[in-house]
Amino acid sequence: MFYKIIERKRDEWLNSPCCVVSDLISYIERQHKMRDAQIESIKTYLFLKIECKNQPLWELFASGKFNSTNVDDLEVNRATREILEVNPAALALWEYASISDENGNVNSPKIVAAIKKAPDSIDYTGVIKELFFNVTYPDYLFSIPMGAGKTYLMAALIYLNLYFALAEPDNPIFAHNFILFVPSGLKSSIVPSLRDIQNFNPLWILPDPVASNLKSLIQYEWLQESSSASKSNIVKNPNARKISMHTANPNLMGLVAMTNAEKVILDRVDNNFSIDESLLKSLPEDERKEYEATRQANELREQIGKIPGLCVLIDEVHHASDDQKLRKVVNKWMEQSNFNSVLGFSGTPNMDPASRIKITDELSVKCTQYANVVTYYPLINGIGNFLKIPTVRHANLDSTEIISRGLREFFDKYAETVYSNGTSAKVAIYAPKIKDLEEDIYPTACAICAELGINPTESILKYHKGNSDYQIDEDAQFEFSTLDSPTSKKRIILLVGIGREGWNCKSLTGVILSQRNSCPQNMVLQISCRCLREVDNARKETALIWLNKFNADKLNQQLLEQQYTTITEFGSKKPDDLVTLNRYSRMERLKLPPIDYYQIKINYNTVETAQITDIGDYLRTYQPPVSDSTVIYTQGFDPADTASESAVGYGYAESAIFRLWLDNIIKESLGLLDIETLTRYEAELKSIFNKIIVVNGDTAVYNTDIDQAKVRSDIRNCFATRRRF
């Protein structure tokens, strides 16, 4: 919630006469190249950078930089009022705790109550430091959803830093050089997208000739070498050698390096030891290798620490699983005067697990979101803006049935969909294991293709890392990397452990998660959204998501926890109207004569006749129909996509009680039936009830093979009357 307080002060600054970036923001908005989520992040960053002097967040809050509450307006006792008036950190903590969300829910009523009860018992500055992990350097996190353009936002912030740094080279608040960290688990999917930074056009945010000069200034280094250098007495780590060549220049500016956080920077960070070179040869071979690897890791960290005016950017910061190691390395760099700041980027800024912050001896509160979030852009705001509009379907069916229904619906909607760049719409099916993909999902997909007249060999791509039983096809990696090109003929993508966060395939239009472990349980939201990236115009593009019940529940849970919305709202989001067409009368302009209106009243005589002449005989001979379909729940933007209850194939048995069954019939009649009417035919209805249940010991359950809804409808209809006029 800190970001709301920051944004409030940011907007005041942007609208004030003392704002020095108004023309710059206006230029960016006029270009219409950056998305609103990116522009909001840029506004906040420039505010923190220029107006707030690039200070750590805890210092800004503790000093009262963002305070705006009038203490005289608060309903508090005298002791609390005196503390809030003289202690800016206390007022900052009060504002943080009392700020409300869109539904009016107070952020932390327990902290508010603690301040009111015992204001002298709280170390306000200490609590604020703890909220920000005791970080003593600028550490800002930008939370924008998948598809909003985190990579281009990184590039924009790099260019803006260099723009101001060139104008004021001795001003330490502006970074001169940059290093991007990507978690190792996402390397194969995120690294290619980070290369897009090279393709960023600075004219989108800065005019020429400044933009062209900055583009020629930047030097890119990709630190991906894994082998050690031989015959080098100075630097043996090849990545460190690359950096050392740049740091030889004391006026270095414009270096943009990218590396893998865990494997390259954090490996062996705790093994800080040294040994006399003369004794190295006497060590066993495995110990010599360990020592050499540790020394090389230390070399790279040491060389990076020498980069002047360094800004560290961390993509998907919530995946920096070894966060304590990363923090330890960054803290070490921070001790040097040339360190500038840390910028994190994530679409899911929630901590897992949540942290507990001690407020008083009796009170500690749980924090679920990173406190250093300075910009938060909700996922729901991106739908119809820069994300496709999803239809979400989920049913309690087995995996094969969900895949079958999902593929049929996908090809019914998108078989002929070809985007303006020549790419065809595709659907991804995620499998928990390679065996499941090869033995279950692939045969099912082939059968559906044959049914629809589609060549499975040409249309299906299987992509996984392979094992002893199933090897990956030689061309699979190439086919996967070229899915978003017009030459790709693949329409169904079968994946195991691949294509999660960072997979940037805009032509992906559908996702199917048919099994409980189709993906990690904490990534259902991220994987479901893989198919939402805009291709041409998100307002006119749709996507299809099919889930089993377990994954639907997980999606709803993660939407609530991370995006403060529900699967219903997510699956029924409509694009906001951007243009309003007003209607005007042209009667006077065209000089039309007055129009006379006449009201006609028509009387009808109604004749009512019973639909069933002998209700008792009808009920005695009634045979319940058999169900042949399954309930499918739908959240979609299309009004035609409504949930139906044509049968009761839930996959589980529901307890059956005769009186509750009658009550259900009465409720569904919307007031046309009452209990007195039904009890006149209690014997006949009891006979029907016995036909639609299954007795299991002392418990009766509804027979899932019977169309229960049709049975209740037929009973209601037999009491209905026909009307004619």
Q: Three-state SS for 558?
A: helix
What is the pLDDT, as a whole number, of residue 602?
87
The CA-based dihedral angle spanning residues 418, 424, 430, 431, taken in that order and rounded to the nearest 10 degrees: 140
Q: Chain centroid to CA 699: how far?
A: 44
Read off the tokens for 262: 């865990």
Same-domain pairing of 358 and 468: no
pLDDT, tens digit (0-9, with 9 covering 90-100), for 542-564? 999 999 999 999 999 988 888 88
What is the pLDDT, as a whole number, of residue 571?
82
d(CA 114, CA 641): 49
- Establish if 560 belongs to a structural domain: yes
Contacts of 44 (CB under 8 A, 6+ apart): 3, 6, 7, 10, 142, 374, 375
DSSP letter for each residue of 694-717: EEETTEEEE-TTB-HHHHHHHHHH
- Establish if 582 belongs to a structural domain: no
- Establish if 586 belongs to a structural domain: no
Which among 376, 395, 429 is the end of a domain? Answer: 376
What is the pLDDT, as a whole number, of residue 399?
93
By C-alpha distance, which of 591, 589, 519, 577 is closest to 550?
519
Same-domain pairing of 324 and 453: no
- Establish if 579 belongs to a structural domain: no
What is the pLDDT, as a whole number, of residue 291?
52
What is the pLDDT, as a whole number, of residue 444?
95
Same-domain pairing of 132 and 244: yes
Residue 455 sits in a domain whose CATH number is 3.40.50.300
> Which regions of the chain are under pLDDT 50?
189, 227-234, 269-276, 280, 321-322, 578, 639-652
Same-domain pairing of 489 and 517: yes
What is the pLDDT, as a whole number, of residue 588?
78
What is the pLDDT, as a whole number, of residue 523?
87
- Establish if 580 belongs to a structural domain: no
Same-domain pairing of 344 and 405: no
Which among 376, 399, 417 is the end of a domain? Answer: 376
Same-domain pairing of 367 and 395: no
CA atoms within 13 A on the CB side of 533: 21
Which among 523, 549, 571 is the end of a domain? Answer: 571
Read off the tokens for 41: 């992040």
Give residue 424's identity as a one-letter amino acid code.
Answer: S
Angle at 189 between CA 293 and CA 292, to 5 degrees: 5
In sequence order, the β-bridge partners of residue 608 are: 723
Same-domain pairing of 270 and 217: yes
d(CA 138, CA 136): 7
Same-domain pairing of 495 and 359: no
- Establish if 505 belongs to a structural domain: yes
Read off the tokens for 385: 């803006």
- Phi, psi angles (nearest 5°) of residue 278: -65, -25
Describe the crossing of helices 78-86 and 88-98 by its angle, rounded to 10 degrees: 110
Same-domain pairing of 635 and 542: no
What is the pLDDT, as a whole number, of residue 642?
41
Please report the beta strands in 445-514, taking only residues with DSSP state E, as ranges in sequence order. 460-463, 492-495, 508-513
- Establish if 597 belongs to a structural domain: no
Same-domain pairing of 21 and 51: yes
What is the pLDDT, as a whole number, of residue 50?
96
What is the pLDDT, as a whole number, of residue 636?
57
- Establish if 31 belongs to a structural domain: yes
Read off the tokens for 302: 């040491």
DSSP letter for each residue of 635-678: E-SSTT---B-S----SS--B--HHHHHHHHHHHTTTS--HHHH
Q: What is the DSSP letter of 627?
A: P
Map tokens 């005769």 to a residue.
Answer: 658
Q: Three-state SS for 49?
A: helix
379 in Cβ contact with 563 (< 8 Å): yes
Describe the crossing of helices 150-167 and 210-217 by its angle, rounded to 10 degrees: 100
What is the domain range of residue 451? 386-571
Same-domain pairing of 525 and 621: no
As for how many domains the chain has, the answer is 3
Map tokens 């002791």 to a residue.
Answer: 79
- Phi, psi angles (nearest 5°) of residue 571: -85, -5
Same-domain pairing of 436 and 348: no
